[in-house]
Structure 1
């Protein structure tokens, strides 16, 4: 099920936009949790883990992986499940964390009321009708558009609310002393000097052309590398508003919407008022008497202890005033002329006396002025609803037993037939074939369908409509013929040979450095064209933080440089060659004269402490509840979802 596709584009209200799964993934360092039992022999095959009485099933993991892939495709439409290999274990752990929260809440009687969930649902703009209010029809259309059921949406909202109500209070307001931050600040100012050299692979590509025998042997040894992954041929029928014909807002609908939204288009009368409120009716009556006798309201209220700023309320709509005083008082004020003094009257806060200082008449726009704006909005909404109805009609037709051909013919849907495609959308047998850009995500999203499965409806990105997808053929994984990929195998052979030679050269240089030979001399001894002399490094440890700020990993040679002891050298593999790193000198840092750095580190440590508190709470909850993992089922799920999903 594609339950949360495009859901990140919806507006849920505070706290609902962030899925609990990703919140855990980002904030609680789930990979550090190790108090799981690793048995699983007593769990059903489709149960991956169990926390207390709450299970994590294979189907729920599938939904989470689909959700994550949808998010990744917002940045990279060509992404496949293979690109999530590094996320798999963390997502499994995050889901177990979520089950921990649910199990703990159930055991200890924490409940999220239906009323609280309903309050979050009505905040979703997609659940509102043309009058701006919650509409059951709009809600059902929203669920259909987002590929959700009411139960699934409520589950996500309840999870987010539990996180907010149970875990957040544990993790907030962690406080540490400045003395804790000082050593970390000192460490950031640590200065290191040394040398860095690169033995590039490109320097070792020269050599005799590989023989046929060498290529065949290399191909056999790396046949998995040249295996074309499983492919599927699709029929894709587009469902867009192009099939809807002429749909437009009527004059009656435009006029009705204008009347229902007078607060927006017609303008609202405001009244500038002064107000004094006290529990003593007699004191309020005295203020009213002085105000009616003449002079300013502030002067009339001053003997009762009010200042001018106390009594000045400013412009108020009737609704705003009613929220302060009650509807009965607001009705009197908005029925009175400018200059009138009303009171004493009983309000929701005591006894009031109110003076209408001035009246600001409503200054809205006429129906003629906003007709085009309203027509565009209503027409867009009607076409959106009509498209949802068409999708429902297509799905109902399939559910009733109609075939792909029957449905597409009846609804006049244009159909594209593809050659066998990989999950990434590549056509190995027809390299020139390209899917339309809107369809780029279709193969990956529908790749688990089989020939015998019913067609499914998938949404297109950027609200471009939907497609009905049917699988017509499945081609199992198979090695590509050597004759067809000979150029690629030859290039890979030469590249592997260059890597082996560069590795041997780097090993030679590192051995010489560790025997005491200066790095520049050891590199020069290679006498290899393309290998440059080493460069000096002079860095503070704090410079590494720029990589984290830019969302980048620290380059391996720099990571090694800040772990070495003075006089030591080490190697690090890079994409273009082998790095050799040597540390010569370390100057300890001293942050005594840099209070801003200490304060910054203190803030960072307090944030980490909050995350640690949340993690420790989850650890304690898991120890109390008991956690059982079905490792065999988890490995099988990984193989099914990630394994063999090579992007080509």
Structure 2
């Protein structure tokens, strides 16, 4: 639990990485887990690379986490239904194949190119500019890397990126494609609308019994209930198991002593640095800063001070850490030679080591012990439960054998709505339970599945209520409301149709509108995409009608949510290509990107042929 809290506190580092890092870090760390050579039963196999189940789960899981950051608030099951698991697998497969191709071609990145890319990357720069060693260390530590391991992975990622960029910039879209499309997109049209809106449905006389029954019969799909299911649910959670676990005071004391080093707040120092490439300049700055004013000494020598923050000694490279933690408060170091140049550090503040307090932490330590033991018991019990079900036991018998009670869940549809329209709540992994219920036949018991928050579940489908049309007597009131709206909307449409008929018979747009009692609305010129539309009246249906007209003066009807409109094409305004320079560049870039994307797709197909892919879909699905 304490470790989990520290992980959450450090998550800002990952956010910086994913939002700022210029190179493709979607797959950070993935190749650390690749296993080459013959292995039994790989879940994913790409060329000579084979991923067993634990490795595939680890790698694809990390990929899903990265993709999931684009859709905050969704759980793993929701992401799976949106196709992000499949997308993550595809990205992992593509990257593995690309790595093998890079190796075959003998591509590499020089040390100098690696240094320039790292030191110039925004993810590793201090707020005032310049390479920030503390931020660099914090990022790679949070990602679980040693410095050398990170540099190796970064180097590989640079090669991948260079190859990908080369494909993306395969060719520029020719003018013969760009110019006609620019004119097509840039054309605008000016419409006139005669809008016929539905009247107040409540003002209509009530329908006769025969009219209402006919409307109900003709629109039965509007009164149909979705298929619903009633289930019995078995839940086994770590929370319930923890309630059974007792922890002695001595066990808490022993755990505290064993974790004392981990819980200790080691000495920290607020450190700033000046980083330069030249030893002579570093010596000049250090000499000028003997009075303690490092900022002035740096400025006078064309350099600047950057923040390392309040850090422990282990968060710095050994040379810097040794120097910084040997200084007194407000003291300045001599020049230190480091991998990225010459560094002078100054200690602004010292925070002494703080030993952990047992009384403050004992409740949390006791809970940590319960959680660890609870996870073991959950694993044991869920395996036993799974075995019991696999041997043919009914769900009630399996629950009784495990000392658990079944929950009776009221009927619900695929959306998780009950009979009364209320949302099914209070269940961990609600969406997975709903999916499982609709995958399981009536009267049968599902497989055991894992849910969030340390819970496993199985269910039995007790009853299925098939899709059915609700009885007429039960929906009379709703049917009358819908009937009134339909009648009012159809009346508005009839008025618009009568106006269009008069136009086609030879009357002018203005005269036909006057005869129909409709007011003509002039609208500003609008493009096919709707740019320039003055209000919501110029809807997608109006745009479709407007740009479907052949010549100026033609008219057509467009449906509106509460009526209809007669649309007349008042003018066609050709695109002025010489005034669309920005748009032309954007379109050229868009089309060029498309060409590059096509080239990348062809290259990916080539990789799939050179490095054949095999995926055990059933086992992969079981992992996620």
Query: TM-score under structure 1 normalisation?
Result: 0.53
Q: 2:411 aligns with which of 420, 429, 435?
A: 420
Q: C-alpha displacement at 1:233, in angstroms?
A: 0.6
Equivalent residues of 2:182, 2:587 under 8 A apart: no
Q: 1:581 aligns with which of 560, 567, 574?
A: 567
Cα separation, 1, equivalents of 2:600 and 2:172? 17
The 10-residue stretch of structure 1 (246-255 or 597-606) with the greater mean CA deviation from structure 2: 246-255
SS in 2 for 1:580: strand
Equivalent residues of 2:324, 2:345 under 8 A apart: no
Where do residues 434-449 of structure 1 align in structure 2 (5 Å cutoff)? 435-436=424-425, 438=427, 441=431, 442-444=433-435, 446-449=437-440
Judged with a 3 Å threshold, the aligned counterparts in structure 2 of structure 1 residues 522 and 539 are, in CA distance, closer, same or farther, namely: same
Equivalent residues of 1:234, 1:471 under 8 A apart: yes
Q: C-alpha displacement at 1:570, in angstroms?
A: 2.0
Where do residues 283-322 of structure 1 align in structure 2 (5 Å cutoff)? 308-309=301-302
Q: 1:233 aligns with which of 230, 233, 252?
A: 230
Partner of 1:171: 168
Cα separation, 1, equivalents of 2:555 and 2:406? 62
Judged with a 3 Å threshold, the aligned counterparts in structure 2 of structure 1 residues 566 and 349 are, in CA distance, closer, same or farther, namely: closer
Q: 2:582 aligns with which of 599, 605, 618?
A: 599
Q: 1:477 aligns with which of 467, 483, 500?
A: 467
Deviations 1:603-648 (A, max 9, x none): 464245314421354267669989xxxxxxxxxxxxxxxxxxxxxx
Cα separation, 1, equivalents of 2:183 and 2:319? 66
The 10-residue stretch of structure 1 (603-612 or 166-175) with the greater mean CA deviation from structure 2: 166-175
Cα separation, 2, equivalents of 1:416 and 1:161? 54
1:195 aligns with 2:192: yes
Cα separation, 1, equivalents of 2:372 and 2:555? 67
Partner of 2:267: 266
Judged with a 3 Å threshold, the aligned counterparts in structure 2 of structure 1 residues 321 and 576 are, in CA distance, closer, same or farther, namely: closer
Equivalent residues of 2:285, 2:301 under 8 A apart: no
Cα separation, 2, equivalents of 1:74 and 1:347? 40
Q: C-alpha displacement at 1:448, in angstroms?
A: 1.3
Q: C-alpha displacement at 1:560, in angstroms?
A: 3.7
Where do residues 328-407 of structure 1 align in structure 2 (5 Å cutoff)? 331=322, 362-364=350-352, 366-367=354-355, 389=376, 392-393=379-380, 395-402=382-389, 403-406=394-397
Deviations 1:361-412 (A, max 9, x none): 631563468985x779867866766665565355323311155335555666
Deviations 1:300-351 (A, max 9, x none): xxxxxxx94579999797968974xxx47965886688999989x998799x
Specify every segment of 5 or more residues in structure 2 that has no aligned partner in the other structure, as ranges. 1-10, 19-23, 28-46, 48-59, 105-140, 146-156, 292-299, 610-624
Cα separation, 1, equivalents of 2:564 and 2:78? 30
Equivalent residues of 1:318, 1:331 under 8 A apart: no
Where do residues 502-521 of structure 1 align in structure 2 (5 Å cutoff)? 502-521=492-511
Deviations 1:224-248 (A, max 9, x none): 5544332211123455565232899
Judged with a 3 Å threshold, the aligned counterparts in structure 2 of structure 1 residues 394 and 199 are, in CA distance, closer, same or farther, namely: farther
Cα separation, 2, equivalents of 1:604 and 1:237? 56
Q: 2:444 aligns with which of 424, 432, 452?
A: 452
Q: Figure out how many residues of one structure are paired with residues of the other and give that number.
A: 481
Partner of 2:207: 209
Where do residues 107-256 of structure 1 align in structure 2 (5 Å cutoff)? 110=101, 169-171=166-168, 192-202=189-199, 206=204, 209-212=207-210, 214-237=211-234, 242-243=239-240, 244-245=242-243, 250=252, 253=255
1:555 aligns with 2:556: no
Q: C-alpha displacement at 1:509, in angstroms?
A: 1.9
Cα separation, 2, equivalents of 1:557 and 1:382? 66
Partner of 2:523: 537
Structure with the bigger RCO (C-alpha within 8 Å, sep 6+) is 1
Partner of 2:557: 571
Equivalent residues of 1:231, 1:422 under 8 A apart: yes
Equivalent residues of 1:455, 1:470 under 8 A apart: no
The 10-residue stretch of structure 1 (215-224 or 308-317) with the greater mean CA deviation from structure 2: 308-317
Judged with a 3 Å threshold, the aligned counterparts in structure 2 of structure 1 residues 193 and 103 are, in CA distance, closer, same or farther, namely: closer
Cα separation, 2, equivalents of 1:172 and 1:613? 6
Cα separation, 2, equivalents of 1:80 and 1:216? 41
Q: C-alpha displacement at 1:513, in angstroms?
A: 3.1
Cα separation, 2, equivalents of 1:383 and 1:132? 27
Superposition RMSD in Å: 6.3
